[in-house]
Structure 1
Amino acid sequence: MKILLTAINSKFVHSNLAVRYLKAFTKDMNYDCKIREFSINDREEKILEEIILEKPDVVAFSTYIWNIEMINRLSNLIKLVDENIEILYGGPEVSYDSQNILKELNGEYIIEGEGEKTYREFVEYKLGERDINTIRGLYYKKDNEILFNGKRPLMNMNEIVFPYEEDENLDNKIVYYEASRGCPFNCKYCLSSTVHGVRFLDAERVKKELKYFIDKEVRLVKFVDRTFNCNHKFTMAIWEFLINQDTKTQFHFEISADILKKAELELLRKAPKDRFQFEVGVQTTNDDVLNRINRFVNFSDIKEKVDELLQIRNIKQHLDLIAGLPGEDYESFKKSFNDVYSISPEEIQLGFLKLLRGSSMREEAEDYGMKYSPYPPYEILKTKDISYYELLKLKKVEEMVDKYYNSQKFNNIIKYLVKKFETPFDFYYELGMYFEKKGYFNRNIGNSEYYRVFLDFNMEILKEDNHILKEFLRFDYLSFNKKRGIPEFIKKSIDKELEEKIKEKLRVKYSFKDYYLESFDININKFKEDSIIVKEKDYYLFGYGGDIINITDEINED
């Protein structure tokens, strides 16, 4: 008997934790179990071919909002090719209203909620070792009816089997790991609010398992824990362990910044740079809206802790906002954006409310005049507080923030231009509208064009001279792009004679085969540090390996 555990990830670099858990939890059982991972960018015909060629008796799909529609179509195709192949569904997208969902899907079974023990008993059933009516947590079809044997109690976390295999190839993958399940908070838009309490793995076990990733030199480990720092003792133990490791592996955590304790902040000061990444769910800075979604916290508390983390300067922070929350109108969201922008985190994520199956927010949608798509990912279309057209504007802002701010490749350009607008939001909005007007959202534009846009934007919208802007444009471009084949609009500003004199003077110290020399008409360093524009020559070496050296003082030495 063969079961094909099938994951369709949102990107190729992602790995699926759920199917690995199921396989690991049944690795001692006498059946043929295989994992196949695909991406939503793969052709359905190719995925179908790969599944059928495995000759499975059962195909088990891991379902989420990003893949359920593709899985629905694949299930229909599988049944058309071989109606004897049974289909089992699990995951958050089928764990709520499961009875009605199974009526709609072309398959025989749904595992509701936490899946390890239910799946193990399902395998026993397929091996003839158990009656199906004894399996709690399983919906199944029988005689044109859908039956359910009742909910399954949550398991002890330490019963879970480590989901990664010793010889598994994790190169070039973002690896997911779970040290706890559940969340102490009850945010109405989140599925974690449907399960109360938090369960943790033993801290010593977690350390041992994290060492597995470190030894494999995994690039990035993302903890899927909803609020990693909700247990002080556990948090301190894991962070201290990771801080003391000699590794280049990065670890990503979702945290609640407002509950960070003084001892945790002191410990984080010792972390090697870029060892940790923190994702902080701000969602809104409107305290009234926060209360409406059961987040009983004030933005001022979040800001205080985020500022403290920024001062440490060794942890990349990613702050989330959600548009379409109950009670938040366009102007309120605009203020939320400007509040978060004032903190200057490394990334700002603008998301749009999704009314997930099973969330209490969906149940309260009518109270707030919420209209949302009935199709995954169930995104908000409008509320009584914010219109569809206003949400469209925010989507343009979101694209500009993601492309320009979050990439961190245009920092000086943006810093210079943002000051010309009343608020940061106004800058990104005007830039988004400019993109829309020029049709850039509807076609692919080259890398250099993303820089050139600013010159045209500055002249057409701000109606200002481009001389100073070009200096920042050239600096930011050379900081992140190839030094050969530089576009004409960022052409070299230093003349050949001066270039040779500088090289002759500094040749003993620098190999100019490894560096590109450039001069600027403004002091870049003073602008970066003090946000002031001083018109004086500034010289830099841009290394072909990525390093950047200010050599102005060396050139000016007698």
Structure 2
Amino acid sequence: MEFSINDCLDNIVEAIMEEKPQVVAFSTYIWNSEYVRKVAKTIKLIDNSVEIIYGGPEVTYDGENFLRNNVGEYIIEGEGEETFRELVEYKLGKGKISDIKGIYYKVSGDNQETTIVYNGKRPVMDMNKIVFPYNEEDDLQNKIVYYEASRGCPFRCKYCLSSVLTNVRFLNVERVKKDLTYLIEKNVKLIKFVDRTFNCDGKFAMELWEFLMNYPCDTTFHFEISADIFKKEELELLSKAPKGKFQFEVGVQTTNDEVLKNINRYVKFDHIKENIQYVQKHDNIKQHLDLIAGLPGEDLESFKKSFNDVYSIEPEEIQLGFLKLIKGTSMRKEANQWGMVASPYAPYEILKTKDISYDELLSLKKVENMVDKYYNSGKFNLTIKYLRKCFDNPFEFYESLANYFENHGYFKRSISNNDYYKFFLDFNKDILKSNTDIIREILRYEYLCVNKKRGIPEFLRGDMSKDEERAIKDILREKGQKLENSSHVEKFNIDIAKLKSKNNVSKKNIYIIFNEKKEPTYLDLQE
């Protein structure tokens, strides 16, 4: 049964109990562990005979303690496929529980005291034994599917749970092709590979990339990759990928080489940057670059530099994440060494270190919000590029914008789509004091590129009269052009095309045709 943490707890419990279960098993992660505990406890209050099984990374590295302090009978440690099967078989009367490796379970003694028994670790499994979970009856059209082609990671980044796994295992490449063919034919919208480093085996990655590049489909494929290990032949292959078919998530984390060493990443940012820019220049693969605040040895000034370094590449998206001291990782064990204090509650996010304070991390969260809403949305590229010139570096721009939001209380209220345009206009007027008319024209253009004209707010409306609009349409008809029903003409008093190509403004009346399904068309009636 599938639910989300946004579902009402009572509704989840009701749906589960309607099935009259004897056993309920939960996959437990940092993002749902608190919710799982509440659901499990409520189930036990309703019917104490229902047995509870927990599995997943959140209970794997603290099994005995978790089971001792929560309702439930069993914990499955590590990989769950084989262990879960054997546990179900045991519940059906086959075999002995003492023979099942990889589980914790409660045993009640004669004096009614409960003992936690652990049967020892299970060897890692052959991934090819995993049964593909879908069948022909499943409706997957326009869905997002998470796919695992490998487990483990060859790198030992201290903050990552994959660093504790002993080796990397892959599904048979032909098996992967078969699975992907099924998903593609089911018209899945997006397939996200959850492999920690998809390109750690270049031969494996290239064979699948080439297979997908030559498979005609509308499905998009998302990969987590390490940019520093790209080989020349991999980059050459990727340069030929159809535009929009692949997305890359690149974990840069920091551009401070010393901090990279502190987390067991022995790479140079210059090498990462070189490969990212090689992919970028072919303009066919969307790249999402990650940074992590709160890493050992990185203070606020170092993080600002990391941000500016990554921003200079101008990827499609930049994510500012915050270090989490995940159970089982060596970073959690080294916390005292770096003066790290993290929340005691999942997801165990860093609160402060000896290098960066709580207040500084709080300010970075506000900057992260601005980067996400303005930069990552892709709706304000021209406006940002124009206003950025008022600041010495990118971080200062987003920091100033975040401070403006904070001072006006915008972080504590609900904000509509149109508000983000209005606040940008106000920010320029109140703080930058740049030419408001120019910013308004740029924002109006960007609004109409992604929104319908009938929703345009009053503060962005143009001044073209109905007579002028009719005259433009007459000219178009004389040229043998006809506006589609979904199209409309807007007048601007700056040269938008020149602004886009050269990032400078020149005063000029220009007309642009906007269409919901096409790129804007520029009309220069002075030619």
Do the two structures share a fold, i.e. TM-score over 0.5? yes
1:270 aligned residue: 240
1:50 aligned residue: 15
Matches within 5 A, 1:81-100: 81-100=46-65
Shift in Å at residue 402 of structure 1? Answer: 0.7
Identity, % of aligned pairs?
Answer: 61
Partner of 2:121: helix, strand, or coil? coil
Partner of 1:321: helix, strand, or coil? strand
2:482 aligned residue: 510
What TM-score results when the alignment is normalised by the length of structure 2? Answer: 0.97
Encode CA deviations 1:125-183: one digit per residue, 9 max, x unaligned.
Answer: 00110100000001100121110111000011211111223222224432100100010
Matches within 5 A, 1:301-340: 301-340=271-310
Encode CA deviations 1:256-285: one digit per residue, 9 max, x unaligned.
Answer: 011111111111122111100000000000
2:516 aligned residue: 544
2:210 aligned residue: 240
Encode CA deviations 1:300-320: one digit per residue, 9 max, x unaligned.
Answer: 011001101110101110000
Shift in Å at residue 494 of structure 1? Answer: 2.6
Query: CA–CA distance in 2 between the matches of 1:406 and 1:543?
Result: 23
Query: CA–CA distance in 2 between the matches of 1:76 and 1:173?
Result: 32
Encode CA deviations 1:8-37: one digit per residue, 9 max, x unaligned.
Answer: xxxxxxxxxxxxxxxxxxxxxxxxxxxx00
Please tell me whether residue 173 in structure 1 is matched to residue 138 in structure 2: no
1:391 aligned residue: 361
Encode CA deviations 1:339-379: one digit per residue, 9 max, x unaligned.
Answer: 00110000001000000000100000000000000100000
2:91 aligned residue: 126
Encode CA deviations 1:363-421: one digit per residue, 9 max, x unaligned.
Answer: 00000000000100000000000000000100000000111111101111111111111
Please tell me whether residue 449 in structure 1 is matched to residue 419 in structure 2: yes
Matches within 5 A, 1:14-413: 36-143=1-108, 144-413=114-383
Query: CA–CA distance in 2 between the matches of 1:545 and 1:233?
Result: 39
Query: CA–CA distance in 2 between the matches of 1:506 and 1:435?
Result: 44
Query: CA–CA distance in 1 between the matches of 2:434 and 2:389?
Result: 13
Q: Is the Cα–Cα contact under 8 Å of residues 473 and 483 in structure 2 kept in the other structure?
A: no
Q: Is the Cα–Cα contact under 8 Å of residues 142 and 190 in structure 2 kept in the other structure?
A: no
Partner of 1:537: helix, strand, or coil? strand
Query: CA–CA distance in 2 between the matches of 1:315 and 1:465?
Result: 36
Q: Is the Cα–Cα contact under 8 Å of residues 161 and 328 in structure 2 kept in the other structure?
A: yes
Q: Is the Cα–Cα contact under 8 Å of residues 277 and 316 in structure 1 kept in the other structure?
A: yes
Partner of 2:247: helix, strand, or coil? strand
What TM-score results when the alignment is normalised by the length of structure 1? Answer: 0.92
Query: CA–CA distance in 2 between the matches of 1:506 and 1:264?
Result: 48
1:498 to 465, 468, 485: 468
Query: CA–CA distance in 2 between the matches of 1:190 and 1:135?
Result: 28
What is the aligned-residue RMSD (CA, Å)?
Answer: 1.1
One-letter identity of the residue aligned with 1:264: E
Query: CA–CA distance in 2 between the matches of 1:516 and 1:419?
Result: 32
One-letter identity of the residue aligned with 2:29: Y
Partner of 1:354: helix, strand, or coil? coil
Shift in Å at residue 493 of structure 1? Answer: 3.1
Moved more, 71-80 or 493-502: 493-502
Q: Is the Cα–Cα contact under 8 Å of residues 112 and 138 in structure 1 kept in the other structure?
A: yes
Shift in Å at residue 497 of structure 1? Answer: 3.4
Q: Is the Cα–Cα contact under 8 Å of residues 503 and 512 in structure 1 kept in the other structure?
A: no
1:526 aligned residue: 498
Shift in Å at residue 192 of structure 1? Answer: 0.2
Encode CA deviations 1:492-551: one digit per residue, 9 max, x unaligned.
Answer: 233333322221111332325231111222221222122222222232111033532122
1:439 aligned residue: 409
One-letter identity of the residue aligned with 1:541: I
Q: Is the Cα–Cα contact under 8 Å of residues 487 and 514 in structure 2 kept in the other structure?
A: yes
Query: CA–CA distance in 2 between the matches of 1:152 and 1:255?
Result: 29
Encode CA deviations 1:418-444: one digit per residue, 9 max, x unaligned.
Answer: 111111111111111111111111111
Q: Is the Cα–Cα contact under 8 Å of residues 186 and 295 in structure 1 kept in the other structure?
A: yes
Partner of 1:504: helix, strand, or coil? helix
Query: CA–CA distance in 2 between the matches of 1:402 and 1:196?
Result: 35
Moved more, 342-351 or 483-492: 483-492
Q: Is the Cα–Cα contact under 8 Å of residues 142 and 187 in structure 2 kept in the other structure?
A: no
Shift in Å at residue 454 of structure 1? Answer: 1.3
Partner of 1:474: helix, strand, or coil? helix
Q: 1:205 to 1:512 in 2, by over 3 A?
A: closer
Structure 1 residue runs of 5 or longer lacking an equivalent are: 1-35
